[in-house]
Each structure stands twice: as structure tokens, then as C-alpha cells.
């Protein structure tokens, strides 16, 4: 084995060595149990960072997002439930802090508006289509009109008969 | 006009009106759930004297203003003269919440621009700010005689906000029983 081959042979074990840290158990990040950490991640995904509106507090590193994450962490460690933590944030920042707003009086339009509009569209389309069909069926021709229609149809048919 | 023309026109106008309202809303202004509720209780060291405690109790009993500020906040500088003008009127005491700031920085800032506050709570961690639902500095709360938060302004106070919103609110609350 020449030196180059030997060196190449060494590369793979060395690269595999880099993967070792990933085999370690997931860091608890200050929590007592993995499920607490999972709850923390889920909750930070569904809370909005109000200073940086498009982002959740999990996605943001803004000062306010970090404060809110610290608070969520503290509440989880205190043993509060997910619902209690959500209520805690809503009491301070309002429903807007939730990416999934609750269904209630002021949010009915938000939740059901699109479906209502779709229903209105479908109903008016249906009504219009029916009216058009009714109009087409109801037409009654007078004798003169029937005569003219027959002439027109005959004129149309002629070129086909004598090409 | 025929119905077939009027109906789409009405729908179009309604939609245009809806979108026009939406475009003119300020998306950074989020209604505070604190309005109509008692000011959250807090106590913190005073900015000027860490030995002394500033508590939310001090704010109760008369119509008051609570202003959240920081030396690192540029719009705070912009609103400061208007806060000073409000303090000058003497219609309501202005309390301060020094938010996520170094004590020396905040005190140097006040020394430079003028201390208009009747008392300042020092909130380095932003814990009180979180309880108040602060998400952008500066923020200004108006609290009535019974300690209920009645109005919140987010962003710097300008001449218009001062004269057309804050002062009328304070006058109205002062006249309430």
C-alpha cells in the first residue's frame, strides 16, 4: 500500500469520527425530561414574536422572542400545562400571539368567511345557470318566427346537400 | 340600471372598501388585552436608587401615565420632548419603566435629555415588560384613578398623539368619578 492509498484509507474513519456527537442523547437544554423539551419546541412554534411579526418565537432570535422563550421554559419547569402557558401569553399579548387564533365571536369571519364566500359564489352560480336554462326552454316562437327559422335551417343545410 | 350590472358593481365596491381599510391599518399595532383590566402588579428596584423599591401600588389612586423607555431606543429620543411637555402641564404624573437597559446608560440618557418621570422602575430582564405585554419600545399606558389601564399607545408620541389623544384621554379620566 503506497502512502496515498493509506491516507485515503484514513479519511473515512476520521470522517465517521465527526458523526460521533450526533449519537449522543439529544441535549435536554435545561429541561428535566425529553418530553418537556418537545413541548417547549412545539409551543415556541405556535407563539408569534410580536416584535417581528411574521416569525414564531422559535424562529426568531429577537430580544423579545428570547424573553418569551425564557418565560415558556420557566412555566414548563414550573409544571404548567400547554393550555395554561398559551393563556399566560394571550393575557399579556392578546390572541394575536397565537398563530392559530381561537374560534370566537370576533374571529368567526376569519374562520368561516372564506367558506361563506365560497358558498355564496356556488349558490349564485347555480341560480344563474338555472335561470339561463329556464329562459332558453321558455321561448315560444310565433308562426312567422317558426317560418323564418325553418328557412334559415334549410338555407344552412343546402350547401351540405349539394357540395 | 339592470340587476346584472348593479350586483357585481356592489360586490366590487364592497371588496374595494374592505381592502382599502386593510391597507390603511397599521399591522404593527396590536390591540392590548390589558385595556380595561387592572395594571399588573409589579415591584422592582428604582432606577436611581437600587435600594428603594418602586411598586405598581405607587401608580394607583390618580390618573397616571406609565412610559416604557430605554437608552438604546431611538424613537424614545424623538418622543422625549413631548413627554416633557406633558409633564409640564402637571395633569398626570408620568412614571417610567426602564426596559432592558444598563442602569448607568439609562441614567446618563436621562441626565442628557431630562428626567421627566415621577418615579422609575428598573426592569433589566424585561419581566415587567412581558407582564405589561410590551413588544416595542416606547409604549405609553394611561391608567385611571382605580388603577385600570384605559389606553395604550405603541410607538413614539408626537405632537398630534399628545394633543389629540393623550391629553384628551387624561382630561376625560380626570373628570370621571
- In this structure, is residue A2 part of a structural domain? no
- Indicate whether this complex's ipTM tops 0.90: no
Residues A88 and A126 in one domain: no
Question: Could you read off the pLDDT of B58-77 as tens digits, one per residue?
Answer: 998 999 999 999 999 999 99
The shortest CB-CB distance from B30 to any of A64, A91, A94 is to A94
Q: Residues 55..74 of B with a Cβ closer than 8 Å to A: which?
A: none
Cα–Cα dist A85/A43, whole Å: 9
Nearest CA in chain A to B33: A94
CA distance B176 to chain A (A): 26
Residues A117 and A86 in one domain: no
Stated as kind and residue range, the H or E segment containing B96 is strand B94-99
**With an 8 Å Cβ cutoff, are A92 and B136 in contact?**
no
Last residue of a domain, one of A81, A102, A123: A102
**With an 8 Å Cβ cutoff, are A51 and B133 in contact?**
no
Give the pLDDT confidence score for residue B177 in this predicted structure: 77
The yes-or-no verdict on residue B132 having pLDDT over 90 is yes
Residues A116 and A48 in one domain: no
Give the pLDDT confidence score for residue B1 in this predicted structure: 60
Domain count, chain A: 2
**With an 8 Å Cβ cutoff, are B130 and A91 in contact?**
no
Last residue of a domain, one of A102, A134, A149: A102
Tell me which chain A residues have a C-beta less than 8 angstroms from the C-beta of B75. Answer: none
Indicate yes or no: pTM above 0.90. no
Residues A112 and A144 in one domain: yes
Residues A97 and A120 in one domain: no
CATH code for the domain in which residue A34 is found: 1.10.8.640
Tell me which chain A residues have a C-beta less than 8 angstroms from the C-beta of B135. Answer: 50-51, 64, 93
Torsion of CA B54, B156, B170, B107, to 10 degrees: 30
**Helices A34-46/A63-77 angle, 10° precision:** 140
**For residues B164 and A159, which has the higher predicted lDDT (pLDDT)?**
B164
Residues A79 and A123 in one domain: no
Confidence bin at B3 (pLDDT 50/70/90): confident
pLDDT tens string, chain A, 163 residues long: the values are 567 676 777 777 777 777 766 655 555 667 888 889 999 999 999 999 887 768 899 998 888 999 999 999 999 999 999 999 999 999 999 988 998 888 888 788 888 989 999 999 999 999 989 888 877 767 778 888 889 989 999 888 876 555 4
Give the pLDDT confidence score for residue A160 in this predicted structure: 58
Confidence bin at B89 (pLDDT 50/70/90): very high
Is the CB of residue B98 less than 8 Å from the CB of residue B70? Answer: yes
Q: Which of B130, B136, B139, B141 to mutate to test the interface with A (most CBs of A within 10 A)?
A: B130
Residues A43 and A61 in one domain: yes
**With an 8 Å Cβ cutoff, are A92 and B132 in contact?**
yes
Residues A66 and A127 in one domain: no
- In this structure, is residue A93 part of a structural domain? yes
Going by C-alpha positions, the residue among B151, B147, B149 that lies closest to residue B167 is: B151
CA distance A48 to chain B (A): 11
CATH architecture of B29-175: 3-Layer(aba) Sandwich (3.40)
- In this structure, is residue A84 part of a structural domain? yes
Residue numbers of the domain that contains A136: 108-157
Residues A34 and A90 in one domain: yes
**With an 8 Å Cβ cutoff, are A63 and B100 in contact?**
yes
Residues A98 and A113 in one domain: no
Amino acid at each position: 500500500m503506497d502512502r496515498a492509498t493509506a491516507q485515503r484509507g484514513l479519511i473515512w474513519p476520521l470522517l465517521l469520527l465527526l458523526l460521533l456527537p450526533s449519537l449522543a442523547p439529544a441535549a435536554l437544554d435545561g429541561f428535566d425530561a425529553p418530553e418537556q423539551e418537545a413541548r417547549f419546541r412545539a409551543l415556541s412554534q405556535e407563539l408569534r414574536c410580536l416584535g417581528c411579526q411574521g416569525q414564531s418565537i422559535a424562529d426568531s432570535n429577537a430580544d423579545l422572542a428570547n424573553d418569551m422563550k425564557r418565560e415558556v421554559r420557566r412555566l414548563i419547569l414550573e409544571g404548567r400545562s400547554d393550555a395554561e402557558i398559551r393563556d399566560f401569553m394571550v393575557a399579556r399579548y392578546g390572541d394575536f400571539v397565537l398563530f392559530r387564533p381561537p374560534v370566537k365571536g370576533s374571529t368567526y369571519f376569519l374562520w368561516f368567511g372564506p367558506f361563506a364566500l365560497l358558498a355564496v359564489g356556488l349558490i349564485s352560480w347555480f341560480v344563474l345557470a338555472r335561470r339561463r336554462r329556464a329562459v332558453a326552454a321558455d321561448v315560444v316562437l310565433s308562426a312567422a318566427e317558426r317560418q323564418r327559422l325553418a328557412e334559415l335551417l334549410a338555407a344552412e343545410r343546402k350547401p351540405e346537400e349539394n357540395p | 340600471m339592470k340587476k346584472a350590472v348593479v350586483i357585481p358593481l356592489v360586490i366590487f365596491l364592497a371588496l374595494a372598501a374592505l381592502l382599502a381599510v386593510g391597507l390603511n391599518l397599521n399591522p404593527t399595532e396590536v390591540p392590548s388585552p390589558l385595556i380595561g383590566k387592572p395594571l399588573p402588579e409589579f415591584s422592582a428596584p428604582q432606577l436611581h436608587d437600587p435600594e428603594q423599591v418602586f411598586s405598581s401600588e405607587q401608580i394607583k389612586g390618580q390618573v397616571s401615565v406609565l412610559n416604557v423607555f430605554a437608552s438604546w431606543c431611538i424613537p424614545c429620543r424623538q418622543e422625549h420632548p413631548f413627554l416633557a411637555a406633558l409633564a409640564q402641564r402637571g395633569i398626570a404624573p408620568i412614571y417610567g419603566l426602564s426596559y432592558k437597559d444598563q442602569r448607568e446608560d439609562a441614567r446618563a440618557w436621562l441626565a442628557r435629555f431630562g428626567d421627566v418621570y415621577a418615579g422609575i422602575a428598573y426592569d433589566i430582564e424585561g419581566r415587567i415588560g412581558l407582564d405589561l405585554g410590551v413588544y416595542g419600545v416606547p409604549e405609553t399606558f394611561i391608567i385611571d384613578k382605580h388603577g385600570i389601564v384605559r389606553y395604550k399607545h405603541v410607538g413614539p408620541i408626537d405632537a398630534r398623539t399628545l394633543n389629540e389623544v393623550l391629553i384628551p384621554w387624561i382630561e376625560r379620566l380626570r373628570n370621571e368619578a
